[in-house]
Structure 1
Amino acid sequence: MSLTNAPTLMTERLILRGPETRDADAVIAFLMDQDRAGGFGAYDNRPDAWRWFALNVGHWHIHGYGYFTIEDNVTGQPAGLSGIWNPDGWPEPELGWVVFEGYEGKGIAYEAALCARDWAYQDLGLTTLTSNIVPGNTRSIRLAERMGAKYERTYQNAYMGEDMLYRHPGPEAV
C-alpha cells in the first residue's frame, strides 16, 4: 500500500507509483552505495538513508509530488526512482531520476523521466522543470539532453554543492 497520495502511472514497461514500505530496503541500498548514489545524495549509514526514504514520503504530503518508485511491471521489483523534487533550499522544481543496480542501460530512466515530466506538466500544471546534475555525471547529462533539456547555469546547491542546472522544454514544446 502506498504511503502517499501519489497516482499510479503506467508506461509500456514500467509502473511509477508512490513509495511503499516494501521499497525501503532497495532505496536504502541504493542510497548507501557511494559510487552509484554520489550524484543523488549518498549516505554512509542506514539510519540517514532511512530518513531520506521518510523524507520522500513527507515531500509527497507537503507538495503533492515527489519521487515515484519505478517498478518493473514484469518482475514487480523496484527498479529506481523518478519524479519531481523541490525541498527547501532548491532553486525550483526538479525532474530527477535514478535506476538501481542491474537496471542500467535499458532505457528505464529515460522512459520513467518522460512519464514523470508529462505528469508534472499535464496534471500538476507546472510550466517549467529543471534537472540539477553534479559535474561529471555524464550519463545524467546525456539523458537530460536527450529529453531536450539545455544547460543554463552552474550554481551552489544547498545540499549537493556545485550543480549544473539543465532546463527542460516547457509543456508547449513536448
Structure 2
Amino acid sequence: MSLVNAPRLETERLILRGPEPSDAEAMIAFLLDPVRAEGFGGYEHRGDAWRWFALNVGHWHLRGYGYFTIENKASGQPAGICGVWNPEGWPEPEIGWVVFDGFEGKGIAREAALRVRRYAYEDLGLSTITSNIVPGNTRSVALAERLGAVYERTYTNYAMGEDMLYRHPSAEEVLG
C-alpha cells in the first residue's frame, strides 16, 4: 500500500512507485551506511534515517511529487530511489537518485532517471530541471553527464554544504 498518491511509472526493467511501509528498511539501511550514503547526507542513528523516510512521504503530500521507490521488476525488491526533489531551501526542483547495495553498475539509476525526467516534463509541466551533486561523487557526476546534464555552478546547499548544480536538457530538447 503506497503512502502517497504517486503515479506508477514503468520502464523495461523497473517499476517506479510511491513509497510503501515495507520500503523503509532498505532506505534506512542505505542511509545508515556511511560510505554509500556519503553523497546523500547519511545518518548515524536509525531514528534520523527513519525520519528521512517520513520526510519523503511528507514531501509527496506537500509538493505533489518526491522520490519514487525503484522496484526491480524481476525480483520485486526495492533497488533504490529516484524522483523530483525540492524541499524548502533548495534552489529549484532536481532529479535525484540512489541505487541500493547489490544493484549498482546495472544501469538502473540511468533508466530510472530518464523516466523520472520525462515525468517531470510531461506530467509535472516543468520546463527545466537540475541534479545537485556533492563534490567528489564521481559516479553521480558521470551519470548526470550521460543524461546530458551540464555543470552550471557550485553553490552552498544549506543542508548538504557545497553542491554542484548540473542542468539537464530542457523539456523542449528532451520531448521535441
TM-score, L = length of structure 1: 0.99
Which residue of structure 2 aligns with residue 106 of structure 1?
A: 106
Say whether 1:155 aligns with 2:151: no
Measured after TM superposition, the shift of residue 41 of structure 1 is 1.4
After the TM superposition, which residues 163-174 of structure 1 pair with which residues of structure 2 at under 5 Å, given as runs? 163-174=163-174
Say whether 1:30 aligns with 2:26: no
Which residue of structure 2 aligns with residue 44 of structure 1?
A: 44
Distance, in Å, in 1 between the alignment partners of 2:34 and 2:88 is 24
Q: Percent identical across equivalent pairs? A: 74
Name the count of aligned residue pairs: 174
After the TM superposition, which residues 47-66 of structure 1 pair with which residues of structure 2 at under 5 Å, given as runs? 47-66=47-66
Distance, in Å, in 2 between the alignment partners of 1:31 and 1:15 is 22
* 1:16-65 deviation digits (Å, cap 9, x = unpaired): 00000000000000001111011011000100000000000000000000
Measured after TM superposition, the shift of residue 142 of structure 1 is 0.5
Measured after TM superposition, the shift of residue 157 of structure 1 is 0.3
Distance, in Å, in 2 between the alignment partners of 1:125 and 1:51 is 29
TM-score, L = length of structure 2: 0.98
Which structure 2 residue ranges, 5 or more long, are not aligned?
none
Measured after TM superposition, the shift of residue 147 of structure 1 is 0.4
Which structure 1 residue ranges, 5 or more long, are not aligned?
none
> Which amino acid is the alignment partner of residue 148 of structure 1?
G
Distance, in Å, in 2 between the alignment partners of 1:59 and 1:157 is 18
Q: Give runs of ≥4 in structure 1 deviating > 6 Å.
A: none
Which residue of structure 2 aligns with residue 74 of structure 1?
A: 74
Distance, in Å, in 2 between the alignment partners of 1:28 and 1:116 is 22
Distance, in Å, in 2 between the alignment partners of 1:35 and 1:156 is 22
